[in-house]
Amino acid sequence: MKPSGRDRLIIALDVGTRAEAISLALTLAPFAAWMKIGLQLFTAEGPDLVRAIRETGAQAFLDLKLHDIPNTVARAVESAVGLDVQMLTLHLGGGSEMIRTAVSVAPDTLLLLGVTVLTSANRETLRETGIIDDVSQQVVRLAKIGAECGIGGVVASAREIGALRKAIDRNVKLVIPGIRPTGSDEHDQKRTMTPAEAVAAGADYLVVGRPIIAAPDPAIAVKQILEEIESAL
């Protein structure tokens, strides 16, 4: 059975306090199965918050974007497993030894995701750091390394979905942030697509933060996005 819109939608809980995060998780639970805890919230509220999110019944996505020496990353993966998270990110730029070591300690219940090029980055960002290839070449290069090392999914922008589907195994899940409903503010995201476009292009999961959590009524915003996703499925 194909996953529903609700199963595919990940809410980025990019807020500063436990109270705000729990309130959003409870309000949005009917519309989204996944709640993403990122650096801001984890740094402020720590592992207890992750447990609290799990207690709401949500699937927990811990977006720590790990990037360190292989041993440190692997031990952090083990710690995340101890928190009962279902998705965890690392940066594929950490290289194959780091990725393989992390994969080797991840149980089947954890979807370990490799971040390719951040959706806030563009060609100039890559140039600045010495990468002369264009964004989509770099995304595909990193995703291939991840897939060869056994990563469960990759994080990229919707614009690279086509190239990724050609380059890597269909079993590798595509998790897509930088989602913006038509007419909404792009904020710092540069490689955006609408929810319907991303799903039609082949995204497995959509990550949405500010268009929902900063909306005057997050429940109305999430409902509209869910309808868009369902229409494209």
Q: Which residues contact ligand C5P (rule: CB under 6 A)?
A: 12, 14, 38, 63, 115, 118-119, 155, 177-178, 187, 189, 207-211
Question: Smallest distance from the beta carbon of 1 to ligand C5P, in angstroms?
Answer: 27
Give the catalytic positions in this structure.
65
Contact 198, 173 (CB under 8 A): no
Contact 111, 86 (CB under 8 A): yes
Question: Residue 101 — φ and ψ, nearest 5°?
Answer: -65, -40
Q: Which residue is nearest to ligand C5P (CB)?
A: 209
Alpha-carbon distance 176 to 181, whole Å? 14
Toward ligand C5P, which CB reaches closer, 147 or 207? 207
The pairing of strands 59-66 and 153-155 is unpaired
Question: Smallest distance from the beta carbon of 157 to ligand C5P, in angstroms?
Answer: 7
DSSP string, 197-228: HHHHHT-SEEEE-HHHHTSSSHHHHHHHHHHH
What residues are paired with 89 via a beta bridge? 113
Question: Smallest distance from the beta carbon of 59 to ligand C5P, in angstroms?
Answer: 16
Contact 65, 73 (CB under 8 A): no
Question: Smallest distance from the beta carbon of 193 to ligand C5P, in angstroms?
Answer: 12
Toward ligand C5P, which CB reaches closer, 101 or 192? 192
Gyration radius of the chain's alpha carbons: 17
Toward ligand C5P, which CB reaches closer, 145 or 207? 207
Toward ligand C5P, which CB reaches closer, 104 or 113? 113
